[in-house]
Amino acid sequence: MLIVQKFGGSSVANPDRIVNVAKRVALTRREGHRVVVVVSALGDTTDDLIELSRKVTRNPVEREMDMLMATGEQVSVALLAMAIQELGIPAISFTGAQVGIVTDSSHTRAKIKNISGQRISEQLKRGKVVVVAGFQGMTEDHEITTLGRGGSDLSAVALAVALKAQVCEIYTDVEGVYTTDPRIVPEARKLESVSYDEMLEMASLGAQVMQARSMEVAKKYSIPIHVRSSFSKQPGTIISKEVKSMEDVVVRGVSLAKEEAKVTICDVPDKPGLAAKIFTRISEANINVDTIVQNVSKTGTTDLSFTVGLPDLNKTLTVARKVAREVRAKGVTYDDKIAKVSVVGIGMRSHSGIAAKMFQALAKESINIEMISTSEIKISCVIGKNQAVRAVRALHKAFGLNRLGRKTQLALVR
Ligand code: ASP
Ligand code: MG
């Protein structure tokens, strides 16, 4: 079998852990599989590098940011290749550019255009374990690019597609994908399987296990993903195409996104084309807008609210204030103390009453809902940040996701 194994930053945070990863890779290789390994930078290296750049400038040029950030992964591939060699297994490390991961030229958030993969195949034929730097690629003009934070997941999935791997294993510091963040709800359960669409929703809604874009690629090419712990041999969570039985569970998980802000443009004249104008401006500034709410207008004007990622808030306000003046709206207000809780599950397509149940659970906790948005397989509510933890716990329980107590489990077995 050809297996792509990806190890995140926490799995290679120090030399002991790098040796641990090398042992796991060696084990897979000794079982007779061909192995391509993708690694992230050691521990918090990427954050540290970004911080370092802030010490010399407040407005770094994005090309240079990529030059800087890409160094992180170059350190880990070299160290991991050495550690694997030390175990008597031939290995070789490569940067993204060296193995022909070609991207577009949008620095710091580049998109992969194609992967030649030839160099990797050659080395695999020679029996080597190939270690590839995650998170990075190269433009057609030989400029180094990075794929956006968490981008090593994308590197791994894209390599699995290009090399026609049987499976892409994502090794991390948790046992798999959980019904919700176990740090918030100790009763959270590890999921055995989850569909691409559910994982995509959960990833974009705050679950940090997988980068959202990597899920789109996995879905498009139906590459099975196995999310598992680099510290245990237990099977983790399989992310795959949906099968009928997955619909039996109405809500698969509860996610929480805390890094969000709400922006309101007040008293926008109620005329055709204004929403188009406002959101065109915002998208031109490369800002991702999420939930949008517009009220019915009674007086010829309406308030328009939407959420953006907290890091984009300042940029958004600048654009929103400008366009508000242009369309003669009254002004712009914002709230950076919000959170978004969501319930996700493909079973929602065939079950009704989920929204009502969600709102009831929040009402019981006296939590006020500020905005609501839905898709076929998720319902999200924007609420006050200080109520987020309570909301997640209440929803997790209301939808029956809490781990069964020992007693109930025994009863079920009998
Ligand atoms: N090192 C990069 C980051 O921290 C890429 C990754 O870890 O996936 O975002
Ligand atoms: Mg990561």
User: In the structure, what pLDDT confidence band is assigned to residue 243 with cuts at 50, 70 and 90?
Assistant: confident
User: In the structure, what pLDDT confidence band is assigned to residue 404 with cuts at 50, 70 and 90?
Assistant: low
Which 8-state DSSP code applies to residue 234? S
Which residues, 6+ apart, have CB-to-CB distance to 366 below 8 Å?
A: none
Instruction: Flag whether pLDDT at 62 surpasses 70.
Output: yes
Same domain, 154 and 37: yes
Same domain, 291 and 390: yes
Q: What is the pLDDT of residues 172-186, one digit of tens each?
A: 988 999 999 988 999
Q: Is the CB of 33 within 6 Å of ligand 1?
A: no
Token pair 């969570």 is found at: 237
**Residue 362 located in a structural domain:** yes
Of 249, 329, 307, 318, the closest CA to residue 284 belongs to 318
Which residues, 6+ apart, have CB-to-CB distance to 90 below 8 Å?
A: 126, 127, 128, 129
**Residue 371 located in a structural domain:** yes
Same domain, 168 and 258: no
Give the pLDDT score at 340: 96
**Is 208 in a helix, a strand, or coil?**
coil
**Residue 399 located in a structural domain:** yes
Domain final position from 138, 173, 208: 173
**Residue 57 structure tokens:** 């400038």
**Residue 240 located in a structural domain:** no
Same domain, 152 and 57: yes
* Atom in ligand 1 nearest the alpha carbon of residue 148: 9
**Residue 99 located in a structural domain:** yes
Same domain, 156 and 258: no
Cα 89 to ligand 1 centroid, rounded to whole Å? 27
Note whether 173 and 8 are within 8 A (CB).
Answer: yes
Cα 152 to ligand 1 centroid, rounded to whole Å? 6
Cα 155 to ligand 1 centroid, rounded to whole Å? 10
Neighbours of 274 (CB within 10 A): 19
Cα 406 to ligand 1 centroid, rounded to whole Å? 38
Q: Is the CB of 72 within 6 Å of ligand 1?
A: yes
Residues 38 and 58: their CA atoms lie apart, in Å, by: 31
Note whether 4 and 159 are within 8 A (CB).
Answer: yes
Give the pLDDT score at 360: 97
Instruction: Flag whether pLDDT at 73 surpasses 50.
Output: yes
Domain final position from 153, 173, 193: 173
Note whether 166 and 2 are within 8 A (CB).
Answer: yes
Same domain, 391 and 278: yes
Q: What is the pLDDT of residues 105-120, one digit of tens each?
A: 999 999 999 999 899 9
List residues bridging with 264 in a β-sheet.
305, 333
Give the pLDDT score at 406: 44
Domain final position from 173, 200, 224: 173
Domain of 111, in residue numbers: 2-173
Note whether 162 and 205 are within 8 A (CB).
Answer: no
Q: Is the CB of 46 within 6 Å of ligand 1?
A: yes
Residues 4 and 216: their CA atoms lie apart, in Å, by: 17
Q: Which residue's CA is the closest to the ligand 1 atom numbered 4?
A: 46
Q: What interhelical angle do 212-221 and 196-204 show, nearest 10?
A: 170
H or E segment and range at residue 64: helix 62-86
Q: Exposure pattern of 248-269 as b/e (b: 16+ CB <10 Å)?
A: ebbbbbbbbbeebbbbbbebbe
Q: What is the pLDDT of residues 251-307, one digit of tens each?
A: 999 999 999 999 999 999 988 999 999 999 999 998 989 889 988 878 889 999 999
Note whether 271 and 259 are within 8 A (CB).
Answer: no
**Residue 211 located in a structural domain:** no
CATH number at residue 10: 3.40.1160.10
Token pair 């510091």 is found at: 173
> Helix count (H) and strand count (E) of the chain?
12, 18
Cα 44 to ligand 1 centroid, rounded to whole Å? 9
Q: Is the CB of 41 within 6 Å of ligand 1?
A: yes
What are the E-state strand segments in 134-199? Answer: 136-138, 144-146, 167-172, 193-195
Residue type, position 11, single letter? S
Average pLDDT value over all residues in the chain: 93
Same domain, 132 and 259: no
Give the pLDDT score at 413: 41
CATH number at residue 318: 3.30.2130.10
Same domain, 289 and 399: yes
Residue type, position 68, single letter? L
- Between residues 248 and 328, which one has the greater pLDDT? 328
Same domain, 264 and 165: no
Which 8-state DSSP code applies to residue 9? G
Residues 39 and 34: their CA atoms lie apart, in Å, by: 17
Same domain, 165 and 16: yes
Same domain, 160 and 265: no
**Residue 213 located in a structural domain:** no
Same domain, 37 and 134: yes
Tally of domains within the chain: 2
Residues 210 and 252: their CA atoms lie apart, in Å, by: 16
Residues 135 and 45: their CA atoms lie apart, in Å, by: 13
> Lowest-confidence range among 297-301, 325-329, 340-344, 384-388?
297-301
Give CA angle at 76 (83, 114), nearest 5°. Answer: 115
**Residue 195 located in a structural domain:** no
* Atom in ligand 1 nearest the alpha carbon of residue 150: 8
Four-CA torsion 26, 30, 31, 33, nearest 10 degrees = 80
Q: What is the pLDDT of residues 137-175, one digit of tens each?
A: 999 999 999 999 999 999 999 999 999 999 999 999 889
Q: Exposure pattern of 385-396 as b/e (b: 16+ CB <10 Å)?
A: bebbbbbbbbbb
